[in-house]
Structure 1
Amino acid sequence: MRVAEDLLEIAELLVEAFPSEERRPLWMYPPLLTRGDTRFYRVVHGGDTVGLLNLWDWGSLCYGEHMALRPELRGHGMGEAILREMVTSAERPFVLEVEPPGSDIQRRRIGLYERLGLRVAKRDYMQPSYRAGGQRVPLWIMCSAGYEPQVEAMVARIRVEVYGEGNGNGDC
């Protein structure tokens, strides 16, 4: 097993796929690896790390924090197949944050999530900062169809568990 190399490849992909304001600083990830409610999945294709999934599993709710594939593999159905498995195997509401449709890729991403059974539940959402004093990011919340009325409770849980709001923790 090549744990150090695997973690470096995942870290590279996180940095490539997400702007700094949409991910925590890399030094904040190791403590998450030991929590019982977080799951990190490395997507392997041809022996190489080509993607990642970071999920939070709270029993009654599954939150997809980060999902990414290497750019050259996007648009070929691999991401859809992986996410379909995650969303359908959750057997409980699945929720995620997504960028509003300002570009073609953002519109396609929302369309992908809709094909997987997710629905836009909250358009006026500001993602808390991963850094003390950092800027909030305007995103949308999407969740499993039929669970839109529960979105405020879902968002409250995400704010506390993922971003550390309301627990006296300035950084998450």
Structure 2
Amino acid sequence: MSQLEQFERVYEIMSASFPVTEYRTKSGQEKLLDRSEYRLLTERDEEERIIAFLAVWEFPALRFIEHLAVDPSVRGGGVGNKLVRKCLEEQPVKPTILEVELPEDESSARRISFYERLGFRLNEYSYVQPPLREGGDPLPLKIMSYPQLLTEQEFLACRAILYSEVYRVSES
């Protein structure tokens, strides 16, 4: 499967799994494939069809999981867990962070619990994800970190990397 064919399937799962404010336009998302720090891990079924993906950024100081999504038809079967574990075990082992919605409803609380079972910790620092689409609004989120909570200094360093490298905005 070519990278473009793989991307088409990944974007299909992404758009079925996230609110539109939580992922880029198709062309914006596709442009990330040209970035050396960005890559996709995928899981396939018996027919070699992509059923899940994890989008990850690799930086010298940390690993950032931007998206994890599983095809709705196979959710709950451990595929997401398997992809996250594969990512966490990659060499070199380094601190890993991800963004989660505020724990304000049952589904966001379930997602946080999913990551906590994998060893992530919910940091209490205020964090806002810059808009992923033109004209979009900033999104208040929380940062989860693996294998331990971040100090305030570590959190600020992580946020600076995300803002400058992933979102390409200046901190304000």
TM-score by length of 1: 0.88
Q: What are the residue-to-residue correspondences of 1:38-53 with 2, within 5 Å? A: 38-46=38-46, 47-53=48-54
Q: CA deviation at 1:123?
A: 4.8
Which whole-Å CA distance do the structure 1 matches of 2:149 and 2:101 have between them? 20
Q: What are the residue-to-residue correspondences of 1:6-85 with 2, within 5 Å? A: 6-46=6-46, 47-85=48-86
CA deviation digits over 1:44-97, x for unaligned, max 9? 112211111110001220000011001222222221122112123251100000
* RMSD (CA atoms): 1.8
TM-score by length of 2: 0.88
Stretch moving more, 119-128 or 92-101: 119-128
The equivalent position to 2:111 in structure 1, one of 106, 109, 112, is 109
Q: CA deviation at 1:2?
A: 4.3
Contact kept in structure 2, 1:122 and 1:151, CA below 8 Å = no
Which whole-Å CA distance do the structure 2 matches of 1:39 and 1:4 have between them? 13
Q: Quick one: which amino acid aligns to residue 7 of structure 1?
A: F
What number of residue pairs does the alignment pair up?
167
Q: CA deviation at 1:20?
A: 1.5
Q: CA deviation at 1:147?
A: 4.7
**% same residue:** 32
SS of 2:54's equivalent?
Answer: strand
Contact kept in structure 2, 1:87 and 1:116, CA below 8 Å = no
Q: Which runs of 5+ in 1 are unaligned?
A: 168-172
Report the counterpart of residue 166 of structure 2 in structure 1. 162
Q: CA deviation at 1:113?
A: 0.8
Which whole-Å CA distance do the structure 1 matches of 2:146 and 2:4 have between them? 35
Q: Are 1:100 and 2:102 an aligned pair?
A: yes
